[in-house]
Structure 1
């Protein structure tokens, strides 16, 4: 486990604790998000330093994740290669000294759980829209018998056309145009 107590971390106020691990988090990620199809081994390279009773974490993650396409449900491999940083404090009142944009977390039971941070950031890195390379390159949408997926802009245009056709005055359109041609 990648849990460190405050007493262990306090030893690293002059030089940061360097953690390099290869993590097998497949089961944990798939439990938290059942849509995840597969997870490779995750390479973790992290530094944890003590700063006046607070702890600063800077970590880099690398690996890959397989999730379904949001359009066709085909498996899509997403490369993971990103960094994140967090500040851990022992009490809520210590959060005030940090800026609003910084991620400040209050430690529970005087422990820093690095694996929980890794899992959280991997889940947050999954984009809302995931497409296969073919789906991203083309405009073709999936379809079937009596159904099809349409783009939002196409759907709005289709709705406007239907509203115009359903109008009670739609049948009268062009009525006076024909009369004006006969008078000339």
Structure 2
């Protein structure tokens, strides 16, 4: 299963992608606001990586689709993008997007493009009713991406993310299918 946007090509992570996956989840700067800490060894991250592998275009063990993102310009690895399906039903269901980019691609609009691709995939391919995203309340750049996608702040959970000895709040954003459709027009 491959996706494409203006500047980015996406494909599901494969076993051969361990090194690029590790380059994201072991990077302290990338993981600064993530809900988990960075991994410090390849052995430690291997089970986590294996949970993100899909088979035959089906969701993986996490009930998500995890994509490796590459620049169309020079095929360099941009980062990780996924959508996790929280529920499926006759009305479509709900999913949550996530994205982590390599630092050299920060501040150039790639995160918005990648997050938008996951949102579009959720509505167009998975036929979801709602797509949401969460961020550390201190991660203003990620929050701005959610706003650019047309998501609405639905709540803030107090002191739910524990990172390096501190508790941080988490913001929860979402967009409904009909809101996404009207934004696409």
Alignment TM-score, normalising by the size of structure 2: 0.25
Alignment TM-score, normalising by the size of structure 1: 0.25
